């Protein structure tokens, strides 16, 4: 009786899909890429190798499933050690080629060994879940997904204080005649600021009102004033307009030693 090796065919096809998606520029199908990658890394190599090592139906489903996932983990780890020594290193294409070879070779061995068998003891029949049982399992999965969604709810900001980042860095010019002044808001609501740049007691530049939304960033390049020296750094003071007397953030920049 001709045997259908649909399981091996499925493994090879899925591995092929994963290889195609990664070798061709197919960024528009992220879901296909994700699913095929999960099969290609977590199931296919281990399943193919298990099928090659146990051509007869001597493994029950739990053992076969365990070996499929476990051997996939182990195979990728060991394959990685080999790839690390090759010039190609650990990159997408080498992985596709290496895992593709593993799946193809193991599947071919499995097919060959199965063909050579004269008689195979049948595995025990597995009971499929009834409609009610299947529905219950689906409900359980849905509740778990809902749980994850609930758990991923960001915490409310009551009782916590947001923050703003202020920075001053040398400009990109080699002579360092400019500095880069930046401000980012990680407050919980739109915030208004006043920013002053000083040398000694003298204000050299001022932004009287800057409004940033949460997550917004502001940057400006300013020319280093002549007054800046080895004893007189450039300083920036940030104030919140709802608390204008208190320095909220401050940074300073010393010129490099000559």
Partner 1 sequence: MQARPNQHSTTGVNFIVADAPYTQRTIGFRYAFDQAAQAVQVSGWGLLPALSVVCACGVFAVAVAFTGSRAGADWLPQALFWFGLTLILLPMSIRLLAAEATREERIGIVTVLGLALYLVKVMHSPFGFTFPDELSHYRNAVEVLKNHEFFHENPALAATAYYPGLQTFTTALISLSGLDIFTAGIITVGAARLVLVVSVFLFQEQLSRSSRVAGVATVLYMGNTNFLFWGAQFAYESLALPLAVLVLFVVLRREAIEDNIDRLGYTLIAMLALLAVVVTHHMTSYVLTACLLIISAAYFVYYKGKRTGPLGLALLAMVATLSWLVYVASYTINYLSPVLLGAVRSMIRLIGGEEAARQLFTSPRSAYQAPLWERVFGFGAVLLVLLGQPFGFVQIWRRYRQYPAIIIVVGAAFAYFGMLGLRFTSAGWETSNRSSEFLFLGISFVLAVAIVDFFSTRRIFRGFGHVLLAGCMLVIFVGGVITGWTPRIRLAQPYLIDAGEHQVEPQGVAMAKWTLANLGADNRVAVDASNAKLLAAYGEQLPYTRQRYGVRNMFYSSIIGRTERRLLRRTGIKYVVVDRRLISWNHVLGIYWRVGSDPNQAKEMFETDVYAKFDQQNGVSRIFDSGNIAIYDVGVLRDATPTY
Beta-carbon contacts of residue 177 (< 8 Å; ≥ 6 apart): 171, 223, 224
User: Considering the rule CB under 8 A, would residue 172 count as an interface residue with partner 1?
Assistant: no
Residues numbered 24 to 53 that lie near partner 1 (CB under 8 A) are 27, 30, 33-34, 36-38, 40-42, 49-50, 53
Residue 31 C-beta-side C-alpha neighbours within 13 Å:
0
Residues numbered 54 to 93 that lie near partner 1 (CB under 8 A) are 54, 56-63, 65-67, 69-78, 80-81, 84, 89-92
Question: Least separation, in Å, of the C-beta of 40 and partner 1?
Answer: 6
Secondary element (H or E) of residue 21: helix 6-23
Sole window of 102-110, 136-144, 202-210, 220-228 interacting with partner 1 (rule: CB under 8 A): 136-144
Residue 52: φ, ψ to 5°: -70, -35
Question: Least separation, in Å, of the C-beta of 103 and partner 1?
Answer: 13
Question: Least separation, in Å, of the C-beta of 98 and partner 1?
Answer: 9
Q: Which residues pair with 179 in a beta bridge?
A: 170, 222
Residue in the structure block whose two tokens are 């049948």:
122
User: Considering the rule CB under 8 A, would residue 231 count as an interface residue with partner 1?
Assistant: yes
Nearer to partner 1, 49 or 197 (CB): 49
Nearer to partner 1, 1 or 160 (CB): 160
Burial degree of 4 (CB within 10 A; 0-12, 13-18, 19+): exposed
Q: Which two tokens stand for residue 165?
A: 């980042």
Q: Which two tokens stand for residue 202?
A: 């003298």
Nearer to partner 1, 1 or 148 (CB): 148
Question: Least separation, in Å, of the C-beta of 252 and partner 1?
Answer: 5
Nearer to partner 1, 1 or 116 (CB): 116
Residues numbered 178 to 197 that lie near partner 1 (CB under 8 A) are 182, 184, 186-189
Phi-psi map region of 200: left, alpha, beta (phi>0 left; psi -120 to 50 alpha)? left
Candidate list 5, 22, 196, 210; residue touching partner 1; CB under 8 A: 22
Residues numbered 98 to 127 that lie near partner 1 (CB under 8 A) are 99, 121, 123-127
Secondary element (H or E) of residue 138: helix 131-151
User: Considering the rule CB under 8 A, would residue 223 count as an interface residue with partner 1?
Assistant: no
Q: 249-253 and 234-240: which strand pairing?
A: antiparallel
Q: Which two tokens stand for residue 199?
A: 């040398």
Sole window of 3-11, 198-206, 221-229, 249-257 interacting with partner 1 (rule: CB under 8 A): 249-257
Q: Which two tokens stand for residue 140?
A: 């359980």
Residues numbered 138 to 167 that lie near partner 1 (CB under 8 A) are 139-141, 143-144, 146-148, 150-167
């Amino acid at each position: 009786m001709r045997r259908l090796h649909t399981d091996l065919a499925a493994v090879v096809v899925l591995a092929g899909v994963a290889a195609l998606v990664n070798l061709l520029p197919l960024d528009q199908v992220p879901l296909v890429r994700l699913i095929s990658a999960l099969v290609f890394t977590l199931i296919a190599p281990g399943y193919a190798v298990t099928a090659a090592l146990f051509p007869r139906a001597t493994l029950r489903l739990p053992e076969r499933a365990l070996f499929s996932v476990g051997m996939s983990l182990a195979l990728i780890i060991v394959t990685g050690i080999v790839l690390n020594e090759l010039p190609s290193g650990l990159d997408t294409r080498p992985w596709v080629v290496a895992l593709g070879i593993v799946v193809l070779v193991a599947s071919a061995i499995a097919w060959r060994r199965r063909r050579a068998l004269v008689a195979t003891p049948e595995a025990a029949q597995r009971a499929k879940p009834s409609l009610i049982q299947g529905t219950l399992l689906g409900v359980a999965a849905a509740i778990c997904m809902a749980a994850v969604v609930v758990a991923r709810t960001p915490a409310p900001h009551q009782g916590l204080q947001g923050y703003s980042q202020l920075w001053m860095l040398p400009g990109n010019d080699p002579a360092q005649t400019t500095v880069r002044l930046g401000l980012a808001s990680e407050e919980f609501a739109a915030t208004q600021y006043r920013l002053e740049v000083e040398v000694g007691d003298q204000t050299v530049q001022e932004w009287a009102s800057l409004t940033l939304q949460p997550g917004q960033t502001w940057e400006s390049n300013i020319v280093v004033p002549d007054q800046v020296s080895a004893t007189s750094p450039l300083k920036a003071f940030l104030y919140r307009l709802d608390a204008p007397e208190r320095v909220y953030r401050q940074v300073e920049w010393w010129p490099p030693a000559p």
